């Protein structure tokens, strides 16, 4: 049997654990990589794990590869997060959050009270004054 052929999960199944069929999340069902390269959620890995003394073995349900980890450490401490899935979950959760925030008004736009008449009549004067200040400041900079 060829173990390298086992990375064949379709793109649609990527975001859910093939054992429990639940979608991965950043909190409870984090996607973790076994040493064979297959990814499962932490609750399923916990169920698959066999602890024997200080060794925890997890037999991959897809390819039967046995992953050994230290039983003294938790699964999240010993197994890598599948970053690809993690990032896709992040995008999904961010999109969800963005739509939730729709009704929140944009901050910062109304911070300055608008005085259009003042600005219009003094715009050129202000601009040249500002430019003078700015260039003067810049010229002073290297001296300090
Ligand atoms: Zn699962
Ligand atoms: Zn596997």
Checking if the pLDDT of 41 tops 60, the result is yes
Residue 112: its pLDDT value, please?
57
Q: Are 3 and 33 in contact (CB under 8 A)?
A: no
Which is more confidently placed, 93 or 33?
33
Q: Please give the domain boundaries of the chain with CATH numbers for all domains.
A: 3-100 (3.30.40.10)
The DSSP annotation for the chain comes to: --GGGG----TTTTTB-TTT-PBP-SSSS-EEE-TTS-EEEHHHHHHHEEEETTEEEEE-TTT-PEEEEETTS-HHHHS-B-HHHHHHHHHHHHHHHHHHTTTSPPSSTTSSPP-HHHHHHHHHHHHHHHHHHHHHHHHHGGG-
Residue 44: its pLDDT value, please?
98
Protein residues near ligand 2, an ion, with CB under 5 A:
36, 38, 60, 62-63, 65
Residue 103: its pLDDT value, please?
54
Instruction: Give the chain's mean pLDDT.
Output: 80
Question: Ligand 2 centre from 120 Cα, in Å?
Answer: 69
The candidate with the shortest Cα–Cα distance to 89, out of 135, 134, 32, 38, is 32
Checking if the pLDDT of 68 tops 50, the result is yes
Residue 40: its pLDDT value, please?
97
The pTM assigned to this predicted structure is 0.58
Question: Ligand 1 centre from 31 Cα, in Å?
Answer: 9
Task: Report the range out of 86-95, 99-108, 109-118, 133-142 with the highest average pLDDT.
Answer: 86-95
pLDDT per position as a tens digit, 73-102: 999 999 999 999 999 998 887 887 777 665
Ligand that comes closest to the CA of residue 42: 1
CA 116 to each of CA 113, 119, 120, 129: distance values in angstroms, whole numbers, following the listed order = 9, 5, 6, 18
């Amino acid at each position: 049997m060829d173990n390298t052929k086992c990375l064949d999960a379709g793109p649609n199944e990527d975001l859910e654990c093939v054992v429990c069929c639940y979608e991965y999340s950043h909190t409870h069902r984090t996607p973790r990589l076994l040493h064979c390269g297959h990814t499962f959620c932490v609750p399923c890995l916990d169920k698959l794990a066999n602890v024997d003394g200080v060794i925890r073995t997890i037999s991959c349900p897809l390819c039967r590869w046995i992953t050994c980890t230290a039983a003294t450490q938790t699964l999240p401490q010993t197994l890598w997060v599948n970053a690809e899935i993690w990032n896709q979950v992040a995008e999904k959760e961010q999109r969800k959050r963005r739509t939730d925030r729709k009704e929140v008004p944009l901050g910062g736009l109304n911070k300055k009270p608008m005085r259009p008449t003042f600005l219009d009549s003094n715009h050129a004067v202000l601009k040249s004054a500002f430019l003078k200040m700015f260039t003067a400041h810049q010229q002073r900079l290297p001296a300090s």
